Amino acid sequence: MEKDDSTRVLRRFAATLGAWTAAAALLAASAVQNRALTGRRLAGGAGIAPRPSEPPPALTFVVVGLGAFRGLAAEALWFRADQLQQEGRYFELVQLAGWITALDPHAADAWAYNAWNLSYNISALMLRREDRLRWVFHGVRLLRDEALTWNPGNAQLCRELAWLYLHKVGGALDDAAPLYRRTLAAETAPLLGANGAYPETAAARESLRLAWRLEAARVVTLEKETGPLDWRAPESHALYWALAGLAHADDPAERFKCRRLACHALMALYEQGRRAAGDTPGASATPPRAVSDRAIFPALLRLLAEHYAASPTASVRRLYGIHLVHGMRQAAAAGDGAERDRLYSLLLNIAAKGFMISPMDELLKQGQPDDAFLAPRAAPSPPALPSATPPATP
């Protein structure tokens, strides 16, 4: 009996020792894998852009301490974040999303989630407009200054940032949006030229890059297409970041989203012009100027043509066609028959099967809606069938 007891004890000890040995081996393997993954990230491998700098000590402690298991910890936090979202506990989500991005600063979804929560959910809880302003711009800075520093050129993050500028700052759904626009204009104006123009000196451009992450080469390339933009306006920033995302997007769905957002930013720049008198910066900043139609509209048509060629859907066709009709009317009003005819030819080319383009004279009539350019093509009447009953004999 004593021998059997000794044998059982030895077997338990061996099993325990084996379990601890296996756990130690797994930890060692995870550490090796983590070092290899870190090396690949620093070198730009594993589909992740190189980090611009070493992480802060606190983040290094978390990453090294958890090793390869930090992915599991992040997943657990995501599960908790979903619960908090359903319960409407947005303030707790801020800290939780911060932990997720600390565990994996290359998780674009976590950055986008946190920025959305700050700019939309939490800002909506604030009664004072000044408090809403603080949370909205907190979300903008989170994407621009932190997320894109860890993930330079990430198309999703660029698009999310463009959307915040266009919809939250430049839109009309939030009654505090005029304050957002005034603040943006007031803070950017000291770094810009007259009327919000991009600065000419290298020192001023570097200051703008550090403060607002606007790269000189990208701005110069953009303004060759659009003409000078007013960089106090949120639509200009939205266009910049949407095109930055488009330049780095590999996924067709992401390219569609970035291009569509860039089109809407250009349309906003073209259509809005000078803001209403009650929605312009005060004495501390010059009101945003109207952007030249001569440069913006051709750039918009080129981008819409590219968008339609890549995604010939009904909604894109309608958007492109509306602006072609608008351009035709502008050209006709200016007496430019050649441009009018050129745009009408482009309009004819986008007619889908089953539709026809209205005649030019109809499209140019006063009071005709811009979107009345497509008319259903009438189906031909079927030929008459011969009568089954023979005619009566006289």
Per residue of the chain (394 residues), give pLDDT as tens.
544 555 554 455 455 545 444 444 444 444 444 444 444 433 433 333 333 344 445 545 555 555 555 555 555 555 555 665 566 655 666 666 666 666 778 889 888 988 888 889 888 888 899 989 998 998 999 999 989 999 999 999 999 999 999 999 999 889 999 999 999 999 999 999 998 999 999 999 999 999 999 999 999 999 999 999 999 999 999 999 999 999 999 999 999 999 999 999 999 998 865 343 333 444 333 344 444 456 889 999 999 999 999 999 988 999 999 999 989 998 999 999 999 999 999 998 887 767 788 889 988 887 777 777 777 766 555 555 555 555 555 4
Summarised one tens digit per residue, pLDDT across range 227-267 is 999 999 999 999 999 999 999 999 999 999 999 999 999 99
Angle, CA 13 vertex, CA 10 and CA 19 arms, to 5°: 140
Terminal Cα distance for the chain, rounded: 124
Q: Which of 119, 118, 76 lies closest to 99, judged by CA?
A: 76
Task: Compute the distance between CA of residue 108 and CA of residue 115 in angstroms, rounded to an integer.
Answer: 11
Q: Where are the alpha helices (DSSP H) in 233-336?
A: 234-248, 252-272, 293-310, 314-333
Q: What is the pLDDT of residue 246?
A: 97
Q: Which of 117, 124, 75, 125 lies closest to 95, judged by CA?
A: 117
The pTM of this model reads 0.73
Q: What 8-state DSSP symbol labels residue 335?
A: T
Q: What is the pLDDT of residue 88?
A: 61
Residues with Cβ within 8 Å of 28's Cβ and at least 6 positions away in sequence, in order, are: none
Q: What is the pLDDT of residue 176?
A: 94
At 52, which amino acid appears? P
Summarised one tens digit per residue, pLDDT across range 168-218 is 999 988 999 999 999 999 999 999 999 899 999 999 999 999 999 999 999
Q: What is the pLDDT of residue 368?
A: 75
CB 229 within 8 A of CB 153: no
Domain definitions of the chain by residue range: 52-126, 153-292, 312-375
Q: State how far Cα 158 lies from the chain centre.
A: 5
Helix (H, G, I), strand (E, B) or coil at 1: coil
